[in-house]
C-alpha cells in the first residue's frame, strides 16, 4: 500500500501487523515511514524510537529518525542519530550528506562539512546535492573555483537542479 501512496491503508495494515507481532521492529519502521509520508512526525518519531528499542542494530532507523529530527530543527538529536547511522552503516551516503549539512549550516565547520560531502560523493557519485552542498562550503571558504566545479558537476548529474544553477550564476558573477 505504501508504494501506491495509500498511506492511511498502509498505516492500518502495519498497525494490524504490530498487534499480531508486537516485537516486529520492521513493522514499526515501515509504519513510521508511512507517517512521514503524511507529515505526522510525532507518530513517526514514536515508531522509530520503538524500532530502536526492539532492535538497536537496525541500521536505517537512526537515519530515518535523524531526518525527522532535522525536519523539526532538533539538530542535536539529528546529529547524534546521523552519527549512529554512520557507525552502524559506514556506506550510508545520505547520512554523511545530512551530517555534513549540520556541520555546514549550524556549526559553520566547513572543513568537516566538506569531509562528509566528500564521503557521500565517494559512496554515491551521482548524488547531485552533495556536489551542490560541497560547492556552498567551498564558496563560503573563499574557494570559488572549487565551488564552480562542484556546481557544474551537480548540473551535469541533474540539469534541472535549480539551486545548483542559481549558485553557479551567483559565484560566476563574482568574477
Judged by DSSP in three states, 57 sits in coil
How many other C-beta atoms can be found within 10 angstroms of the C-beta atom of residue 16? Answer: 11
- Contact assessment for residue 60 and residue 29, using Cβ atoms and an 8 Å cutoff: yes
Question: What percentage of the chain exceeds 70 in pLDDT?
Answer: 97
Judge whether residue 57 has pLDDT over 90: yes
Question: Are 117 and 130 in contact, with CB atoms under 8 Å apart?
Answer: yes
Mean pLDDT of 127-149: 98
Specify the residue for cell string 560523493. Answer: 121
User: What pLDDT score does 163 carry?
Assistant: 98
Angle (nearest 5°) at CA 11 between 74 and 88 = 50
Only one residue has cell 549550516, namely 105
How far apart, in whole angstroms, are the C-alpha atoms of residue 144 and residue 94?
25
Query: What is residue 71's three-state secondary structure?
Result: helix
The reported pLDDT for the residue numbered 174 is 87
Tens digits of per-residue pLDDT, 83-128? Answer: 999 999 999 999 999 999 999 999 999 999 999 999 999 999 999 9
CA dist 37 to 2, 31, 34, 53, Å? 9, 10, 5, 22
Amino acid at each position: 500500500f505504501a508504494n501506491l501512496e495509500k498511506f492511511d491503508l498502509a498505516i492500518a495494515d502495519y498497525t494490524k501487523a504490530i498487534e499480531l507481532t508486537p516485537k516486529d521492529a520492521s513493522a514499526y519502521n515501515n509504519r513510521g515511514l508511512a507517517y512521514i509520508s503524511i507529515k505526522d512526525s510525532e507518530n513517526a518519531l514514536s515508531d522509530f524510537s520503538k524500532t530502536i528499542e526492539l532492535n538497536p542494530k537496525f541500521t536505517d532507523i537512526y537515519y530515518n529518525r535523524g531526518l525527522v529530527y532535522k525536519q523539526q530543527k532538533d539538530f542535536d538529536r539529528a546529529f547524534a542519530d546521523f552519527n549512529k547511522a554512520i557507525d552502524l552503516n559506514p556506506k550510508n551516503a545520505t547520512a554523511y550528506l545530512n551530517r555534513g549539512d549540520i556541520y555546514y549550516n549550524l556549526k559553520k565547520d566547513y572543513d568537516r562539512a566538506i569531509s562528509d560531502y566528500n564521503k557521500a560523493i565517494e559512496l554515491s557519485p551521482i548524488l547531485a546535492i552533495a556536489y551542490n552542498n560541497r560547492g556552498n562550503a567551498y564558496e563560503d571558504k573563499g574557494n570559488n573555483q572549487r565551488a564552480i566545479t562542484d556546481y557544474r558537476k551537480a548540473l551535469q548529474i541533474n540539469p534541472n537542479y535549480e539551486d545548483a544553477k542559481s549558485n553557479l550564476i551567483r559565484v560566476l558573477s563574482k568574477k
